[in-house]
Amino acid sequence: MRINPITMLAGIFPFLSILYSCNSKQVKPSEIRYVLDTTQILKPGKIGSIVDCLQTEVPGLLYREKRIECTGTLEVPPDNIVSVTVPFGGYLRKISCQAGEFVKRGQTIAIVENPEYLKLQQEFLEKRSQWEYLREDFKRQGELTVENAVSVKTMQRAQASYLEAEAGMIGLKKQLEILGVNCDTLNADNITSSLPVKSPVSGYIAEIPVNKGAFIDAQGKIFVIIVKSDYYVKLSVNVNDIEWIKEKQKIEFTLVRDTIRKYLVSVKSILPQTERQSDAFTVYSSKVKPQTFFNPGMKVIARIFIGNSKVLTIPLSAVTIIENQKVAFIKTTEGYKQMILKNAVENNGKIELEEWSEELINTEFVTKGTDILYALFSFSKKNDY
């Protein structure tokens, strides 16, 4: 088929403008039609002196740590979550704190009342009185035995009675001390049906599952206190990535609310089953140095480093986005052609290729003049050049 000379000239004019732009100005984006076609090759013999406008560069080689991205939460160890209970039942007469409040160890945080407490204190006072009497009687019998005034058998009976009373008194004393009663100062004038509930640790009230006036069963939970002295990170790792996770691997995480500050921990343990609500495994970290603004349940973004990998780096100027893909021109023995870059990530002004073949190490990428190549590429496809 013969080509109309006028049509040919109309097609050549854009090509001539490209030649001119090489020496005097850049190709305007409006003059370029970016087309993705990895099969077409621009041969040096057909593009002539435009080759002199191009600059190429071979990739750099960089060793980078491989990592797995995941999310999770800050948590406190189970040993730092304390349930406050009462060993004996009773009515909750007073609550002296509220959720979120910091309490000190030994601080009275509630009052529980039960008439049975009176009986327990009364029994202790009776036992103590009996013990004091038997102690003096045992001492007296011992002195008389030395003087041969009474038999050894009588002294032994006194000793047995004294030790029996002592055991009973000590048992009751231990029960009352658990209830927070100071048995050394307890007497008939200060026995009470109301007993204080004291905080066993210093920490924050996280939960109060009862109300004033409620009857608390023996060992019933009144408070949950969290001690924010230690933290760890609980992470959810996709089932496809769990095979790469090993104990002692480094973890770097940031809070979702603050992605600037980074914290380093390591993998401590991996739960050997998936979570019920998601197809993911739970990974626990080593302890995290606590910060004043840390709170249990805070969301985190984490990276688990699973080893080293080699990545190729090319200048950002070599890459163009076409059809949502990163594309570059490479120089081959036949000419210039397009190449789709897989797993290409921009980092510090470079494009890093995480997926590449060995022959790419010595491949030349066009870093200057790519707009000229795209213009020629579009021209040659349109005019079968």
3 state DSSP class of 291: coil
> Which domains are assigned to the chain?
5-65+310-383 (2.40.420.20), 79-226 (2.40.50.100), 230-304 (2.40.30.170)
Buried b (16+ CB within 10 A) or exposed e, 358-372: eebeebbbbbebbbb
**pLDDT tens-digit readout, 265-315:** 999 999 988 887 788 999 999 999 889 899 999 999 999 999 888 888 999
What digits encode the pLDDT tens for the residues 41-79? 888 777 777 778 889 999 988 887 888 999 999 999 999
pLDDT at 116 over 80: yes
User: What is the C-alpha to C-alpha distance for residues 188 and 123, in angstroms, rounded to an integer?
Assistant: 11
pLDDT at residue number 7: 42
SS3 of residue 51 by DSSP: helix
Token output for 367: 């870093």
Handedness of CA 57, 58, 62, 67 (dihedral sign): positive
Is the predicted pLDDT of residue 20 greater than 50, yes or no? no
Sheet holding 81-85, edge to edge: 81-85, 221-226, 203-207, 102-103
For the segment 338-361, the average pLDDT, to the nearest whole number, is 86
> What does pTM read for this prediction?
0.58
